[in-house]
Amino acid sequence: MGKTTRKLEVASPVPADIDIANSVEPLHISQIAEDLNLSPQHYDLYGKYKAKVLLSVLDELKGSGDGYYVVVGGITPTPLGEGKSTTTVGLCQLWGLFLIKSYAGR
């Protein structure tokens, strides 16, 4: 089976988060795992839409070359709205210090 794709539909004005979430049917986690070529023995299902990937998958990936580490972070705003950008940039600088490269974008 091929990769599961969905068409992006841009809405203006941007709808509320709950309206976006309710506008699609979630993919079953086993479909996502299949798209990632993840064997069923390497994850435990927690219902239809969640799974825990087991560390045993690392043994299967040995010798397959380096991958990418992507961090997507969300920070809940404070009542005064301060600190989110500073925290995000600081975290990217920290990763850059240890990994030599980093990027912060929006």
Question: Could you tell me the pLDDT band of residue 5, with boundaries at 50, 70 and 90?
Answer: confident
- What pTM was computed for the model? 0.53
Predicted confidence (pLDDT) at residue 10 exceeds the cutoff of 70: yes
Q: What average pLDDT does the segment 17-36 reach?
A: 88
More confident site: 70 or 20: 20
Q: Half-sphere exposure of residue 24, counting CA atoms within 13 Å on the CB side?
A: 11
First-residue to last-residue Cα distance in the chain? 33
Predicted local confidence at residue 20, as pLDDT: 84
